[in-house]
Amino acid sequence: VYVTLLLQFYYFSILSVLNIQFHCVSAAFQRKVQNKIKDLLQQMEEGLKTADPHDFSTYTGWTGIALLYLQLHRVTHEASHLQRALDYVKRTLRNLNGRKVTFLCGDAGPLAVGAVVHHRLNNTADSRECLTKLLQLQRSVLSPDSELPDELLYGRAGYLYALLYVNKEIGANTVDEDTIAKVVTAIVESGKNLSAEQKKTERCPLLYEWHKKQYVGAAHGLAGIYYMLMQPGAKVHPDILAEAIRPSIDYVRHKKFRSGNYPSSLSNETDRLVHWCHGAPGVIHMLIMAHKVFKDEKYLKDAVECGEVIWQRGLLRKGYGICHGTAGNGYAFLSLYQLTQEKKYLYRACKFAEWCLDYGTHGCRIPDRPYSLFEGMAGAIHYLSEIAKPEDSCFPAFQL
């Protein structure tokens, strides 16, 4: 018995050593990534000198750059990165215009990121001021006669993200439960109304549209909204999760193409786009979250299928960014890796990172805002910075 136990002990120690080796990204690759990050950061800073000084958004403007430096600070703990984040966020806070309310494209982004940066630097009063202004935006979000959509880029889900983000980064109850509940209710009511209007209450109890189109993907569509509503921090009532959100997710699942990819909108039948904004790389995050919330294997199965589509078609000629570029698609593998611990997904994430290491050499189209977080270089740097600690990766302005 003793010998068997001893053998078993050795067997398991060897296994765990092997396991550790499998799950580590090689030191040589890590070094390569670190060097490339430094190189790209320099190029980005140079390029930003000609960027639009008035674009303060997270999506294409200065808040996105501040968010990148916050991420670099998180990974490296270098104080200079936090200082940089402060410089950029201060610039954005002077430019708020009160027209849009979301984290990605509106005032909520600069205010939420400002609150977090000031909090990290112990500037309590400045952080508080940002939070107060962030909460003041709720009036237009909650107003039933506002024309506000519900999607992530311009709508209520994009405001909800900002609230959940500060609660995660600063502490639970930084934004009170009551405020979050009101925003959640506004999103749910809006979805129920459209579903009833379109006579889809049975099949898809929560239906949303943007510019008269029922989009499916993460940026403008159903997947992004359901994903936000399933966040633990949103504290959506279990009955609403089970009776409204779950059947709506299943409705989207039935729109899946034979390839495993998803349409950009409910009425679109061409299997073309494999982006975070439209297609499997965005929908996968909804499926993974549904798997966690409802503990049903079918969601995992569909998520794995998304992973295959992204592996086959996810290296994009559109560029290296995170909205519709290779870096954004790489996040799908990082999420699958976190969920399953399968080294295959870490390998794939690294392969997509490798593609980003050769930035600019694949003849990709140059985006309109080539240095920005969602379209350009800052997004690729953000993705590359995740390779240091893939188990902690987090798609900016989307995952929590």
- Residue positions in the annotated binding site? 277, 323-324
Site string for Zn ion, 188-227 (x = CB under 5 A): ----------------------------------------
> Least distance from C-beta 73 to Zn ion, angstroms?
26
> Least distance from C-beta 329 to Zn ion, angstroms?
11
Instruction: Report the candidate in 250, 334, 259, 333 with the shortest Cα–Cα distance to residue 290.
Output: 250
Site string for Zn ion, 252-291 (x = CB under 5 A): -------------------------x--------------
Token readout for 370 is: 């080539």
Distance (Å, rounded) from C-alpha 227 to C-alpha 196?
21
Decide whether 104 or 175 has the Cβ nearer to Zn ion: 104
Based on the shown chain and the rule CB under 5 A, indicate whether residue 323 belongs to the binding site for Zn ion.
Answer: yes
Based on the shown chain and the rule CB under 5 A, indicate whether residue 81 belongs to the binding site for Zn ion.
Answer: no
Decide whether 68 or 316 has the Cβ nearer to Zn ion: 316
> Least distance from C-beta 275 to Zn ion, angstroms?
5
> Least distance from C-beta 323 to Zn ion, angstroms?
3
Q: What are phi and psi of 265, to 5 degrees?
A: -140, 165
Decide whether 88 or 374 has the Cβ nearer to Zn ion: 374
Distance (Å, rounded) from C-alpha 397 to C-alpha 391?
18
Of 43-51, 118-126, 186-194, 315-323, the window that binds Zn ion (rule: CB under 5 A) is: 315-323
Decide whether 233 or 281 has the Cβ nearer to Zn ion: 281
**Residue 38 CB partners (closer than 8 Å, separation 6+):** none
Which residues are annotated binding-site positions for Zn(2+)? Answer: 277, 323-324
Instruction: Report the candidate in 213, 193, 218 with the shortest Cα–Cα distance to residue 205.
Output: 193
> Least distance from C-beta 276 to Zn ion, angstroms?
7
> Least distance from C-beta 324 to Zn ion, angstroms?
3
Based on the shown chain and the rule CB under 5 A, indicate whether residue 241 belongs to the binding site for Zn ion.
Answer: no
**Residues near Zn ion (CB under 5 A), total:** 3
Count of other CB atoms within 10 angstroms of residue 240: 17
How many residues make up the chain in this entry? 400
Beta bridge partners, 265, equal 215
Geometric angle at alpha carbon 283, from 279 and 286, rounded to 5°: 170
> Least distance from C-beta 285 to Zn ion, angstroms?
14
Asked if 295 contacts 242 with a C-beta cutoff of 8 angstroms, the reply is: no
Based on the shown chain and the rule CB under 5 A, indicate whether residue 324 belongs to the binding site for Zn ion.
Answer: yes
Distance (Å, rounded) from C-alpha 193 to C-alpha 158?
19
Instruction: Report the candidate in 344, 311, 271, 239 with the shortest Cα–Cα distance to residue 22.
Output: 344
> Least distance from C-beta 359 to Zn ion, angstroms?
18
Give the distance, in angstroms, between the CA of residue 282 and the centroid of all CA atoms in the same chain: 8
Of 41-49, 105-113, 163-171, 321-329, the window that binds Zn ion (rule: CB under 5 A) is: 321-329
Of 128-136, 259-267, 281-289, 319-327, the window that binds Zn ion (rule: CB under 5 A) is: 319-327
Decide whether 324 or 382 has the Cβ nearer to Zn ion: 324
Token readout for 206 is: 């929560």
Distance (Å, rounded) from C-alpha 399 to C-alpha 381?
17
Buried b (16+ CB within 10 A) or exposed e, 243-258: ebbbebbbbbbebbee
Based on the shown chain and the rule CB under 5 A, indicate whether residue 353 belongs to the binding site for Zn ion.
Answer: no
Angle between helices 326-340 and 377-386 (to 10 degrees): 20
- Residue number of the CB closest to Zn ion reads 277
Decide whether 63 or 195 has the Cβ nearer to Zn ion: 63
Decide whether 106 or 224 has the Cβ nearer to Zn ion: 224
Asked if 390 contacts 367 with a C-beta cutoff of 8 angstroms, the reply is: no
Token readout for 26 is: 């090689």
Decide whether 162 or 323 has the Cβ nearer to Zn ion: 323
Q: What residues line the site for Zn ion (CB under 5 A)?
A: 277, 323-324
